[in-house]
């Protein structure tokens, strides 16, 4: 009897843990603007669906120019769309957008001596 109760408790806890793990975030569009559709697709869409959204965004020029514009100018809930896709777990879309991001790079000279004497023994 005790053994069957332990098995039952184990089975129930296993089912509960897998149901909690299977729950995913759901992104719902606040309106029907092209930017909102891009954000929702960046969060939970496939790369092909996102590519179609970028293609149909309404910009002129090749797809690379459209990606560059979207990657640098579109913000979702206050975050850049690249960061938004990455935070949502859509790594494929995030990696695609990262190719087109304009990043600021700082280079620090770690060997630079500002003042004083360096003595090496």
Q: What is the pLDDT of residues 40-61, one digit of tens each?
A: 999 999 999 999 999 999 899 9
Count structural domains, the chain: 1
Average pLDDT over residues 55-73: 93
What pLDDT shows up at residue 21? 47
55: containing domain:
27-98
Tokens 């149901």, located at residue: 19
Give the closest residue to 74 by CA, choosing from 92, 100, 45, 47: 100
Average pLDDT over residues 100-106: 77
Structure tokens at 8: 């039952």
Domain-embedded: residue 115? no
Domain-embedded: residue 70? yes
């Amino acid at each position: 009897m005790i053994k069957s109760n332990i098995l039952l408790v184990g089975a129930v806890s296993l089912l509960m843990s897998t149901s909690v793990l299977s729950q995913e975030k759901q992104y719902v569009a606040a309106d029907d603007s092209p930017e909102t559709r891009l954000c929702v697709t960046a969060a939970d869409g496939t790369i092909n669906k996102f590519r179609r959204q970028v293609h149909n965004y309404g910009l002129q020029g090749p797809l690379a120019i459209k990606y560059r514009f979207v990657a640098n100018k579109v913000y979702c809930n206050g975050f850049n769309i690249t960061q938004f896709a990455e935070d949502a777990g859509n790594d494929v879309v995030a990696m695609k957008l990262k190719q087109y991001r304009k990043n600021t790079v700082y280079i620090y000279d770690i060997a630079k001596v500002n003042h004083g004497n360096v003595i090496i023994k």
